[in-house]
Amino acid sequence: MTVIEARSLRKSFGTTVALDGVNLHVEEGRILGLIGPNGAGKSTALNAILGLTQYHGELRVLGRDPWTERDQLTRDVCFIADVAVLPRWMRVSQALDYVEGVHPRFDRAKAEGFLAKTDIKRPSKVRELSKGMVTQLHLALVMAIDAKLLVLDEPTLGLDILYRKQFYDSLLNDYFDRSRTIVVTTHQVEDVQHVLTDLMFINRGRIVLSCSMEEFESRYLEVTVRPEQLAEARALKPIHERQVIGRSILLFDLKSNRVDRQQLAAVGEVRTPGIADLFVALMGNHTSQPQGLSQ
């Protein structure tokens, strides 16, 4: 089943073009990572999918128009828009009561179960919780909702590595299954590299790369080249080259450069590149300064 289908999606704010003809096709059971620099149009795309903003072009989410049929969609689509959107005055118990009271697919026992694994106390107010705990609470609320599509917009921004790891672990272990779909945007790309099933780079409102993770792994290779073989490796036309403590690391696109793994193994140590490295390689040609991509 197709969960999201977008054709030539456009949106501009005044003279700024946020989405410039984006095509998107997301099937059920996928975890799509939408990666891009600040202001690339990620959040605008998510807002359009969530029915929070108007757009031009064709967009269907679970077969519905998210702008005109938003009220029906909110039962099946869940989102965590930011780390800090839970109202600060709210008590944990009130948050549970409220979501239970308004959401037909909320399983309170499940949410209580997730919370039992944390240090979050029922009478605490959100303002008294640490940033990591607020995220845990929000995740516990959202994971207890039996939704078809979950949208996460920078869900782990500002959290330390332990909370981030825990966040994606619970998402995969306690929530995700083949009948659910997740779309996530983040700058902490190395956190999600092993989580995603699909990858999409977006820049200046356009899709720069769209592939499954299998494709990504078979198409792009990174080679740490021995200095004496550098010239030989460069002849194979890498798409990007960087220096790390005196060694050259070259990134190859196997599909367009017509090289194969054997040729590369002959000039150095071959491995799958990080999403961040590929991002820098591809975006370097598009923007002068790919900002916001952490680490």
Q: How many helices (H) and strands (E) does the chain have?
A: 12, 13
- Nearest-approach distance from CB 222 to another protein, in angstroms: 13
Q: Looking at beta carbons only, is 172 or 239 nearer to another protein?
A: 172
* Ramachandran class of 95: left when φ > 0, alpha when ψ lies in -120 to 50, beta otherwise: alpha
Phi, psi of 281 (to 5 degrees): -65, -45
Between 90 and 293, name the residue whose CB sits nearer to another protein.
90
- Least distance from another protein to the Cβ atom of residue 273, Å: 11
Q: CA of 84: how far to CAs of 89, 135, 191, 209, in Å?
A: 12, 8, 20, 30
As measured in angstroms, the least distance from the Cβ of 24 to another protein is 20
Q: How far is the CB of 94 from another protein (least distance, A)?
A: 5
C-alpha–C-alpha distance, residues 6 and 171, integer Å: 26
Among residues 153 and 290, whose Cβ is nearest to another protein? 153
Task: Provide Rg for the chain, Cα atoms.
Answer: 21
Give the span between the Cα atoms of 226 and 246, in whole angstroms: 10
Helix, coil or strand: residue 136: helix
CB of 193 to another protein, least distance (A): 8
Distances (CA, A) of 160 to 63, 191, 269: 38, 11, 32
Nearer to another protein, 99 or 239 (CB): 99
Binding footprint of another protein on the chain (CB under 8 A): 29, 31, 47, 50, 52-54, 71, 74-75, 78-82, 84-91, 94, 97-99, 101-107, 138, 146, 172-178, 193-197, 213-214, 217, 272
Nearer to another protein, 174 or 232 (CB): 174
- Minimal distance, residue 288 CB to another protein, in Å: 30
Nearer to another protein, 212 or 263 (CB): 212
